[in-house]
Every structure is written in structure tokens, then in C-alpha cells.
Amino acid sequence: MGEPVPQEGEGSVIVSLAEAAMHMYTAAIDALPFPEDKKFHKRANVVLTGMRKLRAALTEAAGRSRSSPAVIVALRDVRLRYDKLMTHAAAAPGSSLGQQLYATRIEAKLSAQEVANGAGLRADLLDDLEAGEIPTEDEAAKVTGLIAALGGVPGTDHHERPESEQHDDEHREHHESQEHEEELHVNDWDESVNAG
């Protein structure tokens, strides 16, 4: 037998429930503390867990042959908001490797399957990492290498750079500052000579 035909108005009920849930999640997101706050990840993870469940329910509803455009729009809105929060969390101090990988692959426009294939990992592991599972040492090494290969976690360019590069920049800035001071000194000296 084929799929059960959704009851009349089922799509609108699903959308209404999704909108109500997103209203609460949006309020919770707006109330999150600064990323540097110790409570940030704990509170963000609660919201992300709920949004994952909502996303899964809407994905299932959207997969039905008689899914309405409103369900698709609701799914899109949830995914966009989820991606934004995951990217925000990934850039925060103390983020999980799963959050970092998720934000990196979303920025790179890659699917979980494509990333898994490229890193030699199973696709379901990415879902587990996204949900907060701790990877093995070997898995963590592969994920870290892949993140670096894809350009690093979005929004953390300064934090992710090697110390040697940061040191080089500090040295360069110091050198440029000295040159600027010397130039001012020379200009002042020239002016005093010219005035004399």
C-alpha cells in the first residue's frame, strides 16, 4: 500500500505548531548570554536540541507526496535559523568539534555525506557529532584536518591562526610603528632645519 494521505488541514496544523515552536526558540536565542559567558553553550545547546527535533519533524512532513508549500517554507526557516545559531555557537569559545564541523561544511556548501566521504568518516557520525557526541582521537584528528582544509571555522579567523603568524604580525606592527616614529622624527628635524 502507498503512503497514508494526510488529512485535510494537516499541513496547516504542522506549520502552526512549527511557528509556535520557532517563536519560543527565537525568544530563547535572543536571550542567550554573550558567547564568552560560561552559560552560553549550555543554553544554546538546549535550543539547538529542540530545533533539531523540529527540523526532523518538518523534514519528514516535507517528504510526503502531498506536502504543502507552507511546510517547505517552515522547514526552510527552521534550517536557516538553526544554521545561524550553530555558526554562532561554533565561533564561540569552548565550542564542540561537531559544531565547528557543521558550521564549516555549511559555509563550504557541502552535504554531510560529501564531508564524510572526503574525511573517511561514516555519515551518521556527523549527525552524532552535531548532537554533541565526543569523537574518538582518530575521528577528531580527521575532523580537525578537514576543518583546516576547508579554511577553518567561519568567524574565528583571528583565533584559529597559528601563534607563529600572530607573532609575525605583532613583530610587523611593532616594526611599522618604529618606522612611523622615525619618519615623524625626520620630518620634525627637516622642518626645524628649514625653519632655521
pTM for the complete prediction? 0.73
First to last CA, the chain: 103
pLDDT in tens, the chain (196 residues): 444 444 446 778 889 999 999 999 999 999 999 999 999 999 999 999 999 999 999 999 998 867 789 999 999 999 999 999 999 999 999 999 999 999 999 999 999 999 999 889 988 999 999 999 999 999 999 999 999 999 999 988 644 444 444 444 444 444 445 544 444 444 444 444 444 4
Q: What is the DSSP letter of 121?
A: -
CA 116/CA 118 separation, integer angstroms: 5
CA 195/CA 168 separation, integer angstroms: 40
- Axis-axis angle for helices 69-90, 97-107 (nearest 10): 120
